[in-house]
Amino acid sequence: MPDPYEPLLRMYERGGGFYLQEYLDLNGVMIPLRNVESNASTTPFVTLCPATLDALDGEGESMYFAKISNGYPRHSPRGIVRRRVDDDQTHDEAFTRNLRWEPTEYLKLYDLGHNDIDHVQITEIEAATFIEPLTEKLAGTS
């Protein structure tokens, strides 16, 4: 069995914290308090890979999007982008082969009608599912 405290220790090592009210607030990620059965049916966030966690960290609140098209469904997208809102400023970024988030105009251009490639909003867990194998593959070839 994995160490049950490892996720908590990793969160604290990375400067995280939490607040407990009606939700468990992990400094921006809100998890509703529920009963054991509903918590057991929730998709777990299984990665503790530092490179993946680094890629998901960002100031402000983030929404993630999968770029989809023929042959690139939601579970295996062409790429992912995120929109971060921090101090009333919006930052659109794409996760690139450089294994980091870089500025992109994709979401703004899409809103202007340049929508050859579609997208759907995804969860942070789905974003991690895309980032982790890419990080492992490209980091291994560097």
- Which pLDDT value is given to residue 59? 72
**AA identity, residue 138:** L
Phi–psi pair at 20, nearest 5 degrees: -120, 115
Could you give the C-alpha distances from 43 to 33, 74, 81, 89, in angstroms and in order? 15, 16, 21, 31
Consecutive 10-residue averages of pLDDT for the chain (142 residues): 74 71 64 74 65 68 91 92 90 90 93 89 86 75 52
DSSP SS3 for 113: coil
